[in-house]
A and B are shown apart, each in its own frame.
Chain A
Amino acid sequence: MDTESTYSGYSYYSGRSRGSHRHGERSRDRDRHKSRNKDSRSEKSVTINTPPAEPLLGDSSVRGEQVQDDNWGETTTAVTGTSEHSLSQEDIVRITKDLEDSVGLDCRRYFTLTLAVILGLLVFLTPLAFLVLPYILWPEKLQTCGTACEGLFISVAFKLLILLLAVWALFFRSPRAGLPRVFVFRALLAVLVLLFVMSYWLFYGVRILDTQDENYQGIVQYAVSLVDALLFIHYLAIVLLELRQLQPCFSVSVMRSTDGEKRHYNLGQLSIQRAALAILEHYYCDFPVHNPALLSASKSRAAKHLAGLKVYNVDGEFPASPADGPGNNAAAGMAHSQSRAMIAAAARRRDTSHNELYYEEAEHERRVRKRKARLVVAVEEAFTHIKRMQEEDQKKTPGDVMDPREAAQAIFPSMARALQKYLRTTKQQHCHSMESIQQHLAFCITNNMTPKAFLESYLSAGPTLQYSRNHWLARQWTLISEASVTSGLSDGSIFQLKCVDFSLVVTTKKIPYIQMSEEYIDPKSHKFVLRLQSETSV
């Protein structure tokens, strides 16, 4: 974990996109490439940065607390994140290994972006260059462009337009997260595109520029073939990046380490880091929010168990002496027997704690139910004081007309005490601030909800996303895996997603191959007989 702590100052919590408030869509940051200590551990521990999304109301005033907001790269230009033609970070690592240590994280990201832009421009301008260069270099020798040739111009134009739209649709999306390692398929595709374009340029340079070919139609057809091949590479990109992981192949079970909440998801063939990303997105939507207050009871019980016994060594030998040879063995044996004695004594002593637990839990249950009953009654009564005003009433009593916020503030005090007590009993009081409760109340009043609907969000813990920002409690996740994180999921692979307070343990199982056979049943074959068992007395 030491490598992560040195970079904590650089972890980018880029929250809001400047100027574009797309509700509900997370604008996440590009990857921060952390240097890996390849010699330090056998486990590869790399970091995923998943910055939180915008607040519900798009309040930009809170932005001041962030260390750095480096989302501008994603939102100001059309190039957001990686395009198909970006050089991968893997290439950067290979080429500029010292650069990553010296220059810093910012430059790497801009470097990637620059390379992506350069590659994109190269790809889009190459066909145009192929078409225009003959006119510039040897205009007098060129044959005039006939009808077929000019038809090809239209074809090039539209295919380039389609390619532009397709690349925009597939690649120019804001990145969802910063992954620890490069996206292998993207890297491969970028390399493929580069090689392809280079080979076309090579051919063009040698066979057309050098010899100054006059057959312009041939040149135009050559440019058209380039654009066609680029479209096919784009098709390959769709299949590799999008389609391949759609078919579910693995069933992953995700378990939270603190309270054992477990969920199962179906994933396709993904690399471990992409699978981890998908799981984290599901985590924020599905898992109930992590409430550390609920774990305090079991911790206190554990502390009581430990504090109950003290072992005194009456023989005078110190078990911790680092002597070698027979002395060490005796010390180790002494420690071993001590621990066994402790466990045996603790086992005998544990007679009463389960009793206490049982009665404590029964009492707590009763208390919660009582508070809940009081709360429900208070809220129902509060809601009866508010009535939606009809149009015709407006002429009668123009005096005390309120908007939803004021209405909520008016009826809130009557239920505040009951709600506060209930939240205290269920240890949820830190999840809901008074401001958020009033907001929720105004929201329910506006949408004509019943008191039960208003209360539902307080009676049971909802998923993490529904709570305010500071209760997501984890923005930086670490992926701990024994296998390389760019390798694919396989049956029985286990990895962990760790954040500050807890970790999610993920196990994978392969969905089995299903052999299905067919059996035909003739509809006329459904015939029945009576089976009797009669008893006769003789």
Chain B
Amino acid sequence: MSNFMPGQPLVAVVQRIEIKKLRQGENLILGFSIGGGIDQDPGQNPFSDDKADKGIYVTRITPGGPADAANLRMGDKIMQVNGYDMTMMTHDQARKRLTQKKEDVVRLLVTRKSLEEAVKTSMGGCYPRQ
């Protein structure tokens, strides 16, 4: 969520979220919707601070679904899925990475603005920001 320069390492405060996929008939679903991607228009993203941010964001959470149970929130930016970086992905690649049929569990690293605020207040303002 902080200003990021292409090519420079990105520093963010992330939270680990583990979601167990739910089986519904033939499909394994996670219970949320994603938006964004490097092939999409970042200006229309309502959740990002920086309107040039082409990352993957959580746009909707099915209430009562696995993502909701795992404490994923709307507006979270997904940084990693199972160790794979999601900050430079097309929309379709991101979808594919989340809906692998062989995986039961996805471990996400997500970031949101409230995390940074919390860290800043707890560390008393000496948190090095990039």
Contacts and interface: CB of A to CB of B under 8 A. Distances in A.
B93 to A, nearest CB: 11
A531 interface: yes
A538 interface: yes
A535 to B, nearest CB: 5
A532, A534, A535, A538 pick with most chain B CB within 10 angstroms: A538
Chain B interface extent, by class: 20 to 34
A300 to B, nearest CB: 58
Contacts, number: 41
B39 interface: yes
Interface string A468-482: 000000000000000
Interface in B5-35: 29-30, 32-35
B105 interface: no
A533 to B, nearest CB: 4
Interface in A506-538: 531-538
B89 interface: no
B69 to A, nearest CB: 15
Interface residues of A, number: 8
A538 B44 contact: no
Contacts of A535: 33-35, 59-60
A536 B34 contact: yes
B95 interface: yes
Given A537-B60, A538-B98, A538-B99, A532 B32 contact: no
Contacts of A534: 35, 40, 91
Contacts of A537: 29, 32-34, 60, 62
Contact of A532 (B30, B41, B99): B41
A341 to B, nearest CB: 55
Interface of B: 29-30, 32-36, 39-41, 43-45, 59-60, 62, 91, 95, 98-99
Given A538-B95, A538-B99, A532 B34 contact: no
Given A538-B29, A538-B30, A533 B95 contact: no
A8 B3 CA distance: 79
15 contacts: A531-B41, A531-B44, A532-B39, A533-B35, A533-B41, A534-B40, A534-B91, A535-B33, A535-B59, A536-B33, A536-B95, A537-B32, A537-B33, A538-B33, A538-B95
B41 A536 contact: no
